[in-house]
A = this chain, B = another copy of it.
């Protein structure tokens, strides 16, 4: 079934069918109804690629998700989709691997899908202005910002938590519970992104509360994977277990580490306390329930779209919003005082 068949069926010209498909006003309601009914009753599917090429303006917003397997993104994606829909736009999503280039992906989507704007969910924190010149539409960094890049804050928008501050807060929770020997489970100290920021918060808390900084208490896994967190913690425990608490920069990493702690003969929190950042749903069901700083996933997604739509519609310029986390009092931290 082609556009010609539909035209024939309705006794109208091909360009009339095309006008209906493109929501053009210069078609009578009667004809419009007839064409849409014929399309609905047939197996004809309009070729949107072709249609997009002749349309002068689209109503599409892109969502580029970097790190397909990050469970933390699920709720954000749902919120972004809902808000884009409410704002009267259509979402086009593309998921890419952790090693892929989200800017290039966004730039290709911009042209192919004639995007009005982009939400980047996860990405590097060290963009340069030259790289971003590939994009000719407004974009929002969702769940991260650009602390290590050279982008002018007036060139882009972001919605994230204050990673360093929140890490400081998590470690301070452990300190207030009487812990003095606190290990950090991180990806890297120098990833120029979230791991480095949260590691800095850990360091700053140790300084603030006059706790000794001991390199043996910094466990770098190189990734955010559960298995790597488990193995790194296991390895470190074979060398030293001279700590009473662990700050993990992500829930998943905390879950991996907790298995290593159990295999070391320790009980959480009796022998070792654990606190993390993220607030994954599943960490609220494990034993013990993980004490963690919950990111406001839904709000993060919603605000990203609101800011983007404001920019698209010219109502406001670039904005940078830091959203607060909420402490989930689980059962993985024990008070020593």
CB distance from A302 to the nearest CB of B (A): 17
A112 touches B285 (CB 8 A): no
Assess whether A107 is in contact with B50, with CB atoms less than 8 Å apart: no
The one of B93, B104, B227, B255 that contacts A286, using a Cβ cutoff of 8 Å: B255
- Cα distance, A134 to B43, chains bound together (Å): 6
**Of B94, B104, B112, B259, which contacts A49 at CB under 8 A?**
B112
CA distance in complex: A49, B255 (Å)? 44
Q: Answer whether residue A258 sits at the interface, using C-beta atoms and an 8 A cutoff.
A: yes
Would A45 and B108 count as touching, CB distance under 8 A? yes
Contact segment of A68-76, A173-181, A202-210:
A68-76
Partner of A45, one of B111, B256, B282: B111
Tell me, in angstroms, the Cα distance from A107 to B1 when the chains sit together.
13
Determine if A52 is an interface residue (Cβ-Cβ < 8 Å). yes
Tell me, yes or no, whether A95 is within 8 Å of chain B by CB: yes
Residue A77 interfacial (CB < 8 Å): yes
**Contact flag A285-B226 (CB < 8 Å), given A43-B134, A68-B77, A93-B95:** yes
Complex alpha-carbon distance, A68 and B74, angstroms:
7
A212-269 at interface with B (beta carbon < 8 Å): 226-227, 230, 252, 255-256, 258-259, 262
* Nearest-neighbor residue (CB-CB) of A225 within chain B: B281
A119 CB to closest chain B CB (Å) equals 15
Count identical subunits in the complex: 2
Q: Does A12 count as interface, using CB distance less than 8 angstroms?
A: no
| Smallest beta-carbon distance A287→chain B, Å | 5
Alpha-carbon distance between A77 and B258 when the two chains are bound, in angstroms: 28
B286–A287 CB distance below 8 A:
yes
CB of A133 closer than 8 Å to a CB of B: yes
Q: How far is the CA of A259 from the CA of B282 in the complex (A)?
A: 11
A270 within 8 A of partner (CB): no
Q: Residues 104-115 of chain A: 1 if any B CB is under 8 Å from the residue's CB, otherwise 0?
A: 100110011100
User: B94, B108, B258: which contacts A285 (Cβ < 8 A)?
Assistant: B258
Bound-complex Cα distance A111 to B107 (A): 23
- Of chain B, the residue at the smallest CB distance from A256 is B285
Question: Among A48, A258, A286, which residue has the most Cβ atoms of chain B within 10 A?
Answer: A286
Which 9 pairs of residues, A with B, have the shortest CB-CB distance?
A: A69-B74, A49-B49, A259-B285, A49-B112, A286-B286, A255-B285, A47-B111, A287-B287, A48-B112
**What are 14 residue pairs bridging A and B, where the CB atoms are less than 8 Å apart in the complex?**
A43-B134, A45-B107, A45-B111, A48-B108, A49-B52, A68-B77, A69-B74, A69-B78, A226-B285, A252-B282, A255-B282, A256-B285, A259-B286, A286-B286
